[in-house]
Structure 1
Amino acid sequence: MRLLLISNSTNAGEAYLDYPKKELGDFFKGIDEVMFVPYAAVTFTYDAYLEKVQARFSELGIRVRSVHREANPALAIMSAKGIVVGGGNTFRLAQMMQREGLVEAIRLRVTDEGIPYAGWSAGSNMACPTIGTTNDMPIIEPATFHAAGLIPFQINPHYLDAHPQGHAGETREQRIEEYITVNTNVYVAGLREGCMLRLEGDRLSLIGPRPMRIFRWGELPREVNPGDDLGFLLQQPLEG
């Protein structure tokens, strides 16, 4: 299985998809066309989203097709050479992917056939077992919180350590601790901005300038760094 799961599309002060473009180019090396899922877009059109992504992928020599322009989106996924799922609102993305039958189609192509899958933000959330560790507001109700389950652990994209002055609400870490208290059998990876996870077969690697924070019920949160062994995240969780 081949996955590239990116925390965020854009670092502050940089152009769209600028920091991950080298990794995207390497990940999709030898592939001249990918199928794009734009359904996380809410306040701008799918056509505008496609144009934005195509502008960056053109630098990589890759044509981007979008499922929203296909008569049968699920069938389009079944013929894709590579799959790209963009960020935005995770609840909207899940609802649309479920409605169009894309969750099952992507799971089949990626897990059974080894088709490469890249996603950022909401697109990374959809690779997890559920969308339960997204940061997004539930603006719409999907049929289920279940996602594609391409990996056995959860990701929290855009993970922040900050507790702004004057803010009396929960920190991101406290929110994740709530999640693992209810979901005691699964790891949550706090993926900081500018970072990504790459899975090639059974090898999972952290790429980027920052460590990743790991959460599991009954364990103290800990940091892992690029180059560390992350194989423990790929172990299937016990029922619980």
Structure 2
Amino acid sequence: MKNLIIASTSTLHGGSYLEYLMPPLEDHFSGCGTITFIPYARPGGISHDDYTGKVAEAFALLGKKVIGLHEFDDPVKAVQNAEAIFTGGGNTFLLVSQLYQFQVMEQLAGALKNGTPYLGSSAGSNITGLTMQTTNDMPIIYPPSFKTLGMIPFNLNPHYLDADLQSKHMGETRETRIREYHQFNSVPVLGLREGSWLDVKGETIILKGDLKARLFRQGQEAEELEPGSDLSFVK
């Protein structure tokens, strides 16, 4: 049975890394001693070692050991044998490219379908959808496919921002960009605001956190979903 926490972000303003998620993560990873961390998204070009060290420091508070996937000679076997998996944020194009390069995408999907506890934040959450096409990231590298894990039956837009009506900025809003996506694609998109996450147990998908999420479906008006909503109806 799938067992995922899919978070918009790893860090809230004024908080430390993963601090706001620690209470649910303590329960989520309660049966795991070691978490395999996928550092491929590399925010700001941070090294795999430094990124893994940052994550290890955070999870030490829960008594968990963290090992970076890049430290294994065989990343496919590492994913297959992982007690738990966390994919961090950064650039989704880079993340997806490397998951395909190391032939990990299919194995990761299989592990999660079989119940390996998973945490994703930002880019690591983007890949839980059907495709990565609604990421906010720049296309710094060209992945062989936009297809991702398909753990949820829709796409995500993490870090979703509402339009600032007081701003003089004349560029596209997030809502505009998602509507552009729906000119050519029918997959629903969930705008996940900062501090919100999805708790996935099997086929049940519950919105957690204090904020609403914004659901976009092709040819329909956007819908605001309350915290605690079951998103299993979204197809």
Question: What TM-score do you get using the length of structure 2 for normalisation?
Answer: 0.96
Q: 1:60 aligns with which of 62, 67, 70?
A: 62
What residue number does 2:197 align with? 196
Q: List alignment gaps of at least 5 residues for structure 2.
A: none
* Distance in 2 (alpha carbons) for counterparts of 1:187 and 1:78: 30
Q: Once superposed, what is the RMSD of the aligned Cα atoms?
A: 1.1
* Distance in 1 (alpha carbons) for counterparts of 2:136 and 2:28: 26
* Distance in 1 (alpha carbons) for counterparts of 2:104 and 2:126: 15
* Distance in 2 (alpha carbons) for counterparts of 1:231 and 1:43: 36
What residue number does 2:182 align with? 180
Matches within 5 A, 1:4-83: 4-41=5-42, 42-83=44-85
* Distance in 2 (alpha carbons) for counterparts of 1:201 and 1:130: 20
Q: Percent identity?
A: 43
TM-aligned CA deviation for residue 229 of structure 1? 2.8
Matches within 5 A, 1:102-141: 102-111=104-113, 113-141=114-142
Q: Aligned pair 1:148/2:152, yes or no?
A: no
- Work out whether residues 104 and 148 of structure 1, in 8 Å CA contact, stay in contact via their aligned partners in 2: yes
> Which portions of structure 1, spanning 4 or more consecutive aligned residues, are displaced by more than 2 angstroms?
none
In structure 2, the residue corresponding to 1:49 is in which secondary structure? helix
Write the letter of the residue equivalent to 1:209.
D
Write the letter of the residue equivalent to 1:123.
G
* Distance in 2 (alpha carbons) for counterparts of 1:32 and 1:225: 34
* Distance in 1 (alpha carbons) for counterparts of 2:151 and 2:24: 20
* Distance in 1 (alpha carbons) for counterparts of 2:103 and 2:90: 19
- Work out whether residues 207 and 230 of structure 2, in 8 Å CA contact, stay in contact via their aligned partners in 1: no
